Amino acid sequence: MDHDAVDICQQFLDVLKVERRLSPNTLKAYTRDLTQLAAYCDEQNLSTWAGLNSHHVRRFIAQRHRHGLGSRSLQRELSASRSFFDYLIKIKHIPNNPAAGIRAPKAAKPLPHVLDVDQVNALLNVEPVDSLEVRDVAMWELLYSSGLRVSELANVNLMDADLSGKMIHIVSGKGNKSRLLPIGGKAIEAIRAWLLARAKNIKTDEMALFTGKTGKRLTVRSIQSRLERWRKKQGLQGRLYPHMLRHSFASHMLESSQDLRAVQELLGHSNISTTQVYTHLDFQHLASVYDQAHPRAKQKKKS
């Protein structure tokens, strides 16, 4: 690019530093991103910023994507370019923003981490040693039995659980949506054991189903901390967090029933596309079984 184009770019970086007072690391990122854009312009024999149009920007992003740049990095580069072009419009160097309306390729959604059935059994088939562990087992059983979010678990009140009817009422789930969910036999058994321990040890008017030593409702953070403590005590490897039990519930239900709509209702998803992520998990499992079992699934090793 010509000398004037380089000077204008430096003026923009000076504005970011002096007027907007951006951090050194952010300035480095802007400098790096705009240097890449300038290098692309040189490849295209563009000597001025005014010669750059939306087609150039699209091809630039496509080229960066082909070179292995991830979605987040591409979004950052586009953001830097838009900010720079807005500055060029402000100083009347260009009439419009050639990066406006251009989006980076979407990143593939990471698949949720799940436990297999054996791992769930290893987590839950443990004899509690005190009343707090009785409570903890009841919480883990309910999370896995009914696919609750950890915030929903923390908000459950005594009156919400109908153990004789084998159901639990989630009064205000995500988006303030309520739903009625079944409770499995193991979870009912664990909750009843906790209710006995709760009545003996906690004298309080607190309406929460799950309470701490002081008789107050457990927080989400407390539940997360107790599950991590439980994982370490059982000697389980890897990360473990409450939402993993919800993911495991969904994956195991879908694998057994193949009923996507039912799993959507149980999870309280407003959009079925959110639930469909578990079909990918199910396919991964089937593909693994296929690779191990089918006589012609594996390629012969070349000698």
The domain segmentation of the chain, as residue ranges, is 3-90, 117-291
Q: Is the pLDDT of residue 157 over 80?
A: yes
269 is catalytic: yes
217 is catalytic: no
Catalytic residue among 64, 217, 226, 246: 246
Separation between Cα atoms, residue 79 and residue 71, nearest integer Å = 12
Catalytic residue among 55, 90, 174, 232: 174
**Residue-level pLDDT at 28:** 93
Q: Is the pLDDT of residue 223 over 60?
A: yes
28 is catalytic: no
Catalytic residue among 56, 169, 269, 285: 269
246 is catalytic: yes
| 38 neighbors 30 (Cβ within 8 angstroms) | no
231 is catalytic: no
- The mean predicted confidence, pLDDT, of the chain is 84
Q: Name the more confident of 274 and 301.
A: 274
**Residue-level pLDDT at 163:** 93
294 is catalytic: no
- What CATH number does the domain located at 117-291 have? 1.10.443.10
**Residue-level pLDDT at 256:** 73
| 217 neighbors 208 (Cβ within 8 angstroms) | yes
Separation between Cα atoms, residue 27 and residue 36, nearest integer Å = 14
Token code pair at residue 97: 């923003």
Strand 179-182: give its sheet, edge to edge.
161-162, 167-170, 179-182
CA 199 to chain centre: 37
| 103 neighbors 57 (Cβ within 8 angstroms) | no
Catalytic residue among 17, 58, 76, 243: 243
Q: Name the more confident of 292 and 132.
A: 132
Write out pLDDT tens, residues 44-64.
999 999 898 999 999 998 888
Catalytic residue among 64, 135, 149, 252: 149
- What CATH number does the domain located at 3-90 have? 1.10.150.130
The pTM score is: 0.58
Write out pLDDT tens, residues 111-147.
667 888 888 898 899 899 999 999 999 999 999 998 8
Separation between Cα atoms, residue 148 and residue 179, nearest integer Å = 11
Question: What mean pLDDT is predicted for residues 245-265?
Answer: 81
